[in-house]
Amino acid sequence: MKEVTNRLKRHQSTTPSRWREKAEWRLQNKSWLRHSQHIAMLMLDKMEELSLTQKQLAELMGCSQQYVSKVLKGQENLSLETMAKIEDSLNINIIMEELELA
């Protein structure tokens, strides 16, 4: 048993895990995260329908592809301005959809 423990310790990461902090953050931000994830799904569906890449959407929105990627992960706290840009770029109705969801 000691040999197994030693072998596991040799492969142990030197950086501590942050799973607890991440889990607590998700719990604290559960409300807006649910909306953010819903918006991300609406965007992904419309992007697929229009055959749009993240880069193309970023150009339409006037932002970076990296920011679009963050939004599509569903963990970005979106401003009304950003939601309006998404709506205009994809011709979808996010704000009214979110009001109905709430």
86 within domain boundaries: yes
**What CATH number should be reported for the domain holding residue 66?**
1.10.260.40
Q: Is the pLDDT of residue 99 over 90?
A: no
Separation CA 87–CA 39 (nearest Å): 10
Report, as an integer, the average pLDDT of 54-71. Answer: 97
Looking at residue 91, its pLDDT comes to 95
Domain with 87 in it: 40-102
Under 8 Å between Cβ of 29 and 58: no
85 within domain boundaries: yes
**Centroid of chain to Cα 23:** 15
Q: What tens digit of pLDDT does each residue of 7-32 get?
A: 888 888 888 888 899 999 999 999 89
Q: Which pTM was predicted?
A: 0.75
